[in-house]
Amino acid sequence: MPRQVFEFQSPDRFVVGTIGMPGERTFFLQARSGNQVTSVVVEKQQVIVLAERLGHLLDEVRDTRSPEVPIPDTGTESDAQPLDLPLVEEFRVGAMALGWDEATSRVVVEAHAVAEDGTDIPDIADDDADGPDTLRVWLTPSYARSFAARAQIVAGAGRPPCPFCTQPLDPAGHVCPRANGYRRRS
């Protein structure tokens, strides 16, 4: 099957969202431009790392590039809307890449499908026909900051952590290994 590359050079929307209850949520990256909507499944940890690395990348660009590139400390866009429906999963993300496009002064986010055949992950902007399916999105620095802020909120909205062992607390109960499963009665 030929490789699909979903490109969004100036997306109307690029967000992280979830479907399901805490503890059973499925995380999605979703890009929209006009009527074209692409949704890919990601892991919660990938969302957390993506948000963190976006912040680091923008800080590095601000500190090392010329002052002609304005990099805000916070994003100006706010998007608290749910994912666009119908939700159609294009692929499950295996690897992600970030980069800075000097020509457009934008962040490039790439999400590559899990490669079952052991195919190597391509370099950023490599459209070789043998690579995995890819979602590629260009974001302004302000939009990238807003995206990272929403991603942190969405990832943190799950089950609260146990104050002793930091494992997620389930509504059905929690056996804490640090407390050896013992709970004092008050």
Q: Is residue 174 part of a domain?
A: no
Q: Distance of alpha carbon 103 from its chain centroid, rounded?
A: 24
Q: Is residue 167 part of a domain?
A: no
Q: Is residue 62 part of a domain?
A: yes
CA separation, residue 53 to residues 34, 64, 97, 145, 162 (Å): 28, 16, 10, 11, 26
Q: Is residue 168 part of a domain?
A: no
Q: State pLDDT tens for residues 34-57.
A: 999 999 999 999 999 999 999 999
Six token digits for residue 147: 């995206």
pLDDT at position 77 is 78
- Higher-pLDDT residue of 37 and 125 is 37
Six token digits for residue 169: 């607390």
**What's the number of CA atoms in the CB half-sphere (13 Å) around residue 185?**
0
Six token digits for residue 57: 């990348």
66: CATH: 3.30.2450
pLDDT at position 111 is 96
pLDDT at position 44 is 94
pLDDT at position 181 is 58
For the cut 70, the answer to whether the pLDDT of residue 4 exceeds it is yes
Q: Is residue 172 part of a domain?
A: no
Q: Is residue 75 part of a domain?
A: yes
Q: Is residue 58 part of a domain?
A: yes
- Range of lowest pLDDT (6-20, 86-100, 102-116, 164-178): 164-178
Q: Do 91 and 114 contact (CB within 8 A), yes or no?
A: yes
What is the extent of the structural domain holding 66? 5-156
Q: Is residue 28 part of a domain?
A: yes
pLDDT at position 160 is 81
Give the mean pLDDT of the chain: 87
Q: pTM value?
A: 0.82
pLDDT at position 129 is 72
Number of domains in the chain: 1
Q: State pLDDT tens for residues 134-186.
A: 999 999 999 999 999 999 999 988 888 888 887 888 777 778 877 775 555 55
Q: Work out the burial of residue 106: count CB atoms within 10 Å of its CB; fewer than 13 is exposed, 13-18 middle, 19 or more buried.
A: buried
pLDDT at position 167 is 80
pLDDT at position 5 is 93
